Structure 1
Amino acid sequence: MHPLLPDLSEIRKKRVKLGINQRELGLHVGVNQSTITKIENGKIRPSYELVYSIFRFLESFEDSSIGLIGDIQVTPVTFVNKSEQLRRALSMMQNRGFKQLPVKDGELVVGSISERSVSRQIVKVKDPTQLLNKPVSEFMEDPFPMVPESTPISWVTSLLQHVQAVLTTRKGRVFGIVTNADLIKVISTR
């Protein structure tokens, strides 16, 4: 049995009240902006599962009692280019006390590199120093997820159970980064 959902007309009201645009909502629930527009205008009858996902996502934004991710984000974000040598990435991580870095190719975020991804490669070779001159792209993992800085901390907390960091966005551009260490700092200072 499915729980009862609010009327579809509530989607637009909640979305606008929370400052989420149609494109962002669509990205978070797995549909395009056009589908969200059609739902809000009553042009299509979406599946129960989609409506449930939409309301669940919107409700997660309403649960911002412990603050927004933008309140704890670290700025500016330190990036490494995918063509740079591993030596440089490791130096940046050690000098700044980071366990991971987002990886860029030009202006695009294309992946991430972490102590964990590097250590996986170290155990595969006889002489780990030979890895230092290889490009970061050979050690790269998937990019960190991106969320608007208006996202509730409670929502990102569950996301950080599965990834090492989350990038925050402002007006569609990467603006900050949040890791589990940042969450722990927030909790310990309250």
Structure 2
Amino acid sequence: MIEHDVSEIKNWRKKLDLTQGELAKLSGVSQSMIAKIESGLLDPTYTKAKAIISTLERLEKKEEKQISEVMQKKIISVKPDNTLKETIDLMRKNSISQMPVIEENNLLGIVSESNILDAILEAKSYDTKITEVMNECPPTISVTASIDVASHLLKHYPLILVSKKGKLIGIVTKADILNAAYK
């Protein structure tokens, strides 16, 4: 069953920056058929409409970037026995605002500037262990996940961890997604 209306073909094709001829060739139909469909002069058969729409869907999926293209591969983390002071120093040195708390390849949680600021406002000592102020673990997604999936998760979490076969291989933040959008 076709989930898209043939009236969407023209806008969809333009969004993918395709000419009528290119879409026709990739779909196995004539360029004049694409032109007639887009102008509303021809109502294509189910088979032809399915071929065109399947081509557009395939091209759209191919164009979608994967998270592996934007993730930070260098994972800067703290250990649970690091202090607030050590964590602040590490964040400043690396110009980051949050990082995972990891011990022996086990993810324990995440610490952010907000956690640290709250601890300072609560008059906690700079010698306080980071485990006393960290948050729970953020979500982990597959290295093959799309940027769209990550973007939706980043509305609720400050960062997302990226894994491959159960091993942590990267981190994605809102800044990484925004940087990718403007490249």
What TM-score results when the alignment is normalised by the length of structure 1?
0.62
2:169 maps to: 175
Which residue identity lines up with residue 140 of structure 1 in the other structure? Answer: M
Report SS of the residue matched to 1:111. Answer: strand
Gaps (5+ residues) in structure 1? 1-61
Which structure has more RCO (C-alpha within 8 Å, separation ≥ 6)? 1
CA distance in 2 between partners of 1:63 and 1:166 (Å): 22
What amino acid sits opposite 1:172 in the alignment? G
Unaligned runs of 5+ in 2: 1-59
Q: Does 2:78 align with 1:84?
A: no
Identify which range, 62-71 or 84-93, moves more after superposition: 62-71
1:166 aligns with 2:166: no
Tell me, in whole angstroms, the C-alpha distance in 2 between the residues paired with 1:65 and 1:89. 39
Q: Which amino acid aligns with 2:177?
A: L
Kindly state the Cα deviation for residue 132 of structure 1 after the two structures are TM-superposed. Answer: 1.2
Alignment of 1:1-150 (within 5 A): 63=61, 65-125=63-123, 131-150=125-144
- CA positional deviation for 1:121: 1.8
Q: 1:157 aligns with which of 131, 151, 162?
A: 151
In the TM superposition, residue 65 of structure 1 has moved relative to its aligned partner by 3.5
Q: 1:64 to 1:87 in 2, by over 3 A?
A: farther
Q: Once superposed, which parts of structure 1, at least 4 consecutive aligned residues long, lie more than 3 Å away?
A: 62-65
Query: 2:144 corresponds to which letter in structure 1?
Result: S
The alignment partner of 1:162 has SS state of coil
Q: How many residues align?
A: 127
CA RMSD of aligned residues (A): 2.2
Structure 1 residues 114 and 123: CA distance shift in structure 2, 3 A: same
Q: Distance in 2 between matches of 1:171 and 1:76?
A: 18
Larger Rg: 2
CA distance in 2, matches of 1:160, 1:85: 27
Question: Deviation of residue 63 (structure 1)?
Answer: 4.8
**TM-score under structure 2 normalisation?**
0.64
Work out the percentage of aligned pairs sharing the same amino acid: 23
Match for 2:164: what amino acid?
R
